[in-house]
Amino acid sequence: MIINIFVYVLMQQAIQAFLLIPKDSDFTIKNIPFGVASKPNGNPFPATIIGDSVINLAKLEELGYFNGPLFSTLGSKVFDSGNLNKFVSLSRPYWKEVRSQIQSLFQCGSQLENNQEALAQIITPVQDIQNHLPITIGEYTDFYSSKNHAFNMGSIIRGPDNAMQPNWYYLPVGYHGRRSSIVIDGTDIRRPWGQVKAPTAEKPSFTKCKRLDYELEIGAVIGGAPNNLGEPIKVNQAEDRVFGFVILNDWSARDVQVWEYVPLGPFGAKNFASTISPWIVSIEALEPFRIQLPEQDPEPFIYLKEKNHTSFDIRLEVLIGTEKSPELEHFTTSNFKYMYWSVNQQIAHHSITGCNIQPGDLFGSGTISGTTKDGRGCLMEYTWNGKEPLVLKSGEQRLFLEDGDVLEMRGYAGEGENRVGFGRCKGKILPALDEAYFQS
Binding region for Mg(2+): 250, 270, 274
d(CA 220, CA 289) in angstroms, rounded, equals: 16
Strand partners, 175: 142
The end-to-end CA distance of the chain, in Å, is: 68
| Among 58, 68, 59, residue whose Cα is nearest residue 98 | 68
For 152, how many CA atoms within 13 A lie in the half-sphere containing its CB? 24
Sheet holding 53-56, edge to edge: 123-125, 53-56, 45-50, 35-38, 130-132
- Look up residue 139 and give its amino acid: E
d(CA 185, CA 338) in angstroms, rounded, equals: 24
> To the nearest 10°, the Cα dihedral for 191, 403, 385, 206?
-40
| Among 117, 121, 125, 122, residue whose Cα is nearest residue 40 | 125
d(CA 75, CA 78) in angstroms, rounded, equals: 9
d(CA 409, CA 365) in angstroms, rounded, equals: 15
Binding region for Ca(2+): 142, 215, 217, 250
d(CA 46, CA 34) in angstroms, rounded, equals: 7
Radius of gyration for the chain, computed over Cα atoms and rounded to the nearest angstrom: 22
Question: Catalytic site residues?
Answer: 149
Other Cβ atoms within 10 Å of 218 Cβ, number: 26
**How far is residue 116 from each of residues 67, 113, 141, measured CA to CA in Å?**
20, 8, 44
Binding region for substrate: 144, 158, 257, 261, 367
| Among 211, 250, 169, 241, residue whose Cα is nearest residue 386 | 211
Question: Which residues have a Cβ under 8 Å from the Cβ of 218 and sit 6 or more positions away?
Answer: 245, 246, 247, 248, 314, 316, 336, 364, 365, 368, 411
Q: Are 150 and 365 in contact (CB under 8 A)?
A: no
- Look up residue 331 and give its amino acid: F
d(CA 435, CA 280) in angstroms, rounded, equals: 39
